[in-house]
Structure 1
Amino acid sequence: MTKYNQLAIQWEFIISKIKSSVTVVDATLPEFPLIFVNEYFTQLTGYSAEESIGQNCRFLQGPETDTDTVKQIREALEKQHSMKIDILNYTKNGQKFWNELNIDPIFNESGECLFFVGIQYDISERKYAEQQLQMAASLAEMNSRGQLEFIGKLNHELRTPLNGIMGMIELISMGESSDEQKEYLELARESGEALLNIVNNSLDMAKLGRGKMMLEQIEFQPLKLVQQIIKTHEPAAQNKQIRLLCHADLNLPDVLTGDPLRLRQVLDNLLSNAIKFTEHGEVQLQMDVEEFRGDMVTLVFTIRDTGIGIPDTQINHLFEAFTQTDVSHSRKFGGSGLGLTICKELLELMNGQISVESVEGKGTKFEVTLPLLRQQAIPNVG
């Protein structure tokens, strides 16, 4: 007798000693009873071979065993298919444990399914680790959402008195006052506007973080929108004695559909930053048509400046919340570090994107790409 024949005779002894749970089920009987379990199965479950043989494997299931998983196993057995699935089972003393269950049907030469061989791996530690990670992630998300809701509510409360203060400053500015008083009022107005901008940005971040930011889909005239934006920023550019230029593609459609308020918010922020960080030279807004495709048009808005630029070490973190390129810049120019983060989030909501190129000391270029719906005729927009 060869050593291979000896191994064939001793197969049951060999399988019984494998350090994985092995079971054999009779596939010819409707209840699929167990006809063999190895030693590791008895160690894992706490059931002896005598208690297990003749039973359907469902005796290992308990109140938290997933019924869909059980159904999938049953269907695989009825169809005589191999399968791999995770299932929560219970030991004899009621302790839960996770199995990675591998089932294979065994056929005879006539194609009749005689047995199902199951190999089970105890994956309890892995499953419990996954559950702990999921719980930690859920708690972190709950805490984050709670903080964002608090920020949102706080900023709503702040905005009302702040608008009142801004209104009072405006009324006082309309009356007679000395040059010194005018200077103080202007400083108060600028400080109020800076604070209101921080409040509004924080409120937008809270909305974005809670998924509450709603977009409009209305008709607007892109050229008119850009002209209004440029007009808004002209005084700031003139005060710094820098040129503010605007160029538009001649192929630009007259009317588009999208969210002009959020588009303006993005372009306002980029132009405001460009003017803020440019001491000499110019800031330019260029609007080009990148592509026409059916009823859609893709526009590219390019904002260039000749300002201080962005260091290579900072450019990859530019769109992260509360990030500014330099603490000294923050002190000199102000700002919350939220504007670019909001721009990126808003553009993603609108299926657009933003990119940046910069050379420190020479200037920066932001490029906004945005798909919008074309209209066939100019509506009555007043």
Structure 2
Amino acid sequence: MSDLPASGPDWTHIIGELRSSVTITDAADPEQPLVFVNDYFLQLTGYSREEVIGRNCRFLQGDGTRSETVREIRERLSQCLPVRTEILNYRSDGSPFWNELNIDPIFDTEGRCVLFVGLQYDVTDRKLLEEEAAHAARSAHRQSRALMEFIGKLNHEMRNNMNGVLGLLDIVLMDESLPDDVREYLELAKGSGDTLLNIANDALDLAGAANGRMKLERIEFNLRQVLESILKTHSARAAEKGVELKLAIGGDLSQRTYGDPHRLRQVLDNLIGNAMKFTEQGSITLSAESLPQRTESGEQQIRFTVRDTGIGIPEEHMDKLFKAFSQTDVSHARLYGGSGLGLKICEELVGLMGGRIFAESREGEGTAFHADIPFSTEG
């Protein structure tokens, strides 16, 4: 590295020309007064050099400045530590601006802190955008909760009435003297009613989860028995379609498990039902295995996987899987039916249980849904 000219560059001029605010404070003085500011600092704050030199920077503070931020800055400077923060400051005309503050201590050859050099940036526009985004997010959340509340009330009424209609249809269908064509029409009506009832139940579950009204049980249950029972529920439909159902349970899993078997069943029922819908041949496998990591409270992480050999999901549709009222393709919805709420409910339930759910798929080669859920093995 070549030596600088003996005279050296004019550092004061260079710093003065920077399009960033620069300040230098005397760290040896208890009042920590400003001993240098560049021109851009004066432009940023609206003060003159004579008004600021010899004063502590607290003159930039005002009613909206957070006292916690000021206290944090003072504590770090008292220990000669760097400061990186954002603070609401005020110009000479009283107008506020958000100041991104970067302060570094400068030490002499004996290790004493003699100066604080600060760089300041006006980040008001960015902070306004952040506040607008946060306000929009809060507003969207309130609207979403209101919508879910409405959906819940609407579907509660619909479910009550559908139960009445389906009950009457069951009574009529018990009449063995019904003509075949009338029975066929009634069974079609009952099938449609069952579909509407399932949609109402799904919507109620989703509304309950979104509004925090869905509660979890913590009871002891036998994991293998629950998984076997879930597969039995789908065995008739699988046999009808010629799809093989398989169960694989890791040998290191404790069979005595504590948690909410009802919500676990609800998640896996949805996933298997979804797999059955899109699998015309081959197999559907439900597996459970222990993951190596445990939760901070010592719970066992179990990965439940529902893997099918169905039609798969196009890559461009993977990000739509867990959105309410969405299916991967309109033609699939028409062909296979469904409310489009099942996977969203699974995501809500798994999240409620402290886990996560994700999918892997390749079009034409099947899909695997993984739900990592913590369960306790001790009462």
Q: Considering the TM-score relative to the shorter chain, is it more than 0.5?
A: yes
Aligned equivalent of 2:318, options 316, 319, 342: 316
RMSD of the TM alignment (CA)? 3.7
Q: What are the within-5 Å matches in structure 2 for residues 364-379 of structure 1?
A: 372-374=375-377
Stretch of structure 1 that moved more, 317-326 or 119-128: 317-326
Q: Deviations over 1:337-373 (max 9, x none)?
A: 222333344345443646455663x766656665544
Q: Deviations over 1:297-336 (max 9, x none)?
A: 847555546x5x2354466357333333443332233211
Aligned partner of 1:163 in structure 2 is 163
SS of residue paired to 2:190 = helix
> One-letter code of the match for 1:126?
R
Length, aligned pairs only: 369
- Measure the CA separation in 1 of the matches of 2:22 and 2:360: 59
Q: Which residue of structure 1 aligns with residue 41 of structure 2?
A: 41
Tell me what 1:191 maps to.
Answer: 192
Deviation at 1:91, TM superposition (A): 0.8
Moved more, 128-137 or 290-299: 290-299
Question: Which stretch of structure 1 is more off in the superposition, 223-232 or 45-54?
Answer: 223-232
Pair 1:190–1:44, CA change in 2 (3 A)? same
Preserved CA contact (<8 Å) 1:297 1:374: no
Q: Judging changes above 3 Å, is the alpha-carbon distance between structure 1 residues 194 and 82 closer, same or farther for their aligned structure 2 residues? A: same
Matches within 5 A, 1:21-40: 21-40=21-40
Contact conserved, 1:317 with 1:323, CA < 8 A, in 2?
no
1:63 equivalent in alignment to 2:66: no
Deviations 1:274-313 (A, max 9, x none): 444455x5655555666799985847555546x5x23544
AA aligned opposite 1:334: G
- Partner of 1:324, secondary structure, is coil
Cα distance in 1 between the residues matched to 2:109 and 2:307: 75
In 2, distance between residues paired with 1:250 and 1:14? 68
Q: Which amino acid aligns with 2:217?
A: E
| Residues 296-335 of structure 1 aligned to structure 2 (within 5 Å) | 296=300, 298=302, 300=304, 302=306, 304=308, 309-313=311-315, 316-317=318-319, 319-321=321-323, 322-335=325-338
Q: Deviations over 1:92-148 (max 9, x none)?
A: 111001222222334444444443333322222222222222222222323223222
Counterparts in 2 of 1:40 and 1:348: CA distance versus 1, 3 Å: closer
Q: In the alignment, is residue 268 of structure 1 matched against residue 269 of structure 2?
A: yes
Question: How far is 1:89 from its partner?
Answer: 0.6
Q: Provide closer, same or farther for how the CA distance between residues 194 and 44 of structure 1 changes in structure 2, counting only shifts above 3 A.
A: same
Contact 1:253 1:374 in 2 (8 A): yes
Aligned amino acid, residue 87 of structure 2:
I
Could you say if the C-alpha distance between residues 104 and 167 of structure 1 is closer, same or farther in structure 2, counting changes exceeding 3 Å? same
Q: 1:76 to 1:151 in 2, by over 3 A?
A: same
> 1:1-382 counterparts in 2 under 5 A?
4=5, 6=7, 11-176=11-176, 177-237=178-238, 240=240, 242=242, 245=245, 247=247, 255-278=256-279, 296=300, 298=302, 300=304, 302=306, 304=308, 309-313=311-315, 316-317=318-319, 319-321=321-323, 322-350=325-353, 351=355, 353=357, 355-357=359-361, 360=364, 372-374=375-377
TM-score (norm 1): 0.79
Structure 1 letter corresponding to 2:186: L
Residue 63 of structure 1 deviates from its aligned partner by: 0.5
Deviation at 1:65, TM superposition (A): 0.6
Rate the CA distance shift 1:278–1:150 in 2: closer, same or farther, 3 A.
Answer: same
Query: 1:380 maps to which residue?
Result: none
> Is the contact made by 1:274 and 1:283 (CA closer than 8 Å) also made in structure 2?
no
Secondary structure of the 1:44 match is helix
8 Å CA contact 2:322–2:347 kept in 1: the answer is no
The two structures have a TM-score, normalised by structure 2, of 0.80
Taking every aligned residue pair, what percent have the same amino acid on both sides? 45
Residue ranges of structure 1 left out of the alignment (5+ in a row) = 377-382
Q: Deviations over 1:219-265 (max 9, x none)?
A: 22344434544444455456x46366555669676543332212222
C-alpha spacing 1:165/1:19, structure 2 compared with 1 (3 Å)? same
> Which is worse superposed, 259-268 or 100-109?
100-109
What SS does the aligned partner of 2:167 have? helix
Name the CA distance, whole Å, in 1 between partners of 2:96 and 2:361. 56
Report the structure number with the largest CA radius of gyration. Answer: 1
Provide the rounded CA distance (Å) in 1 between the counterparts of 2:17 and 2:200. Answer: 69
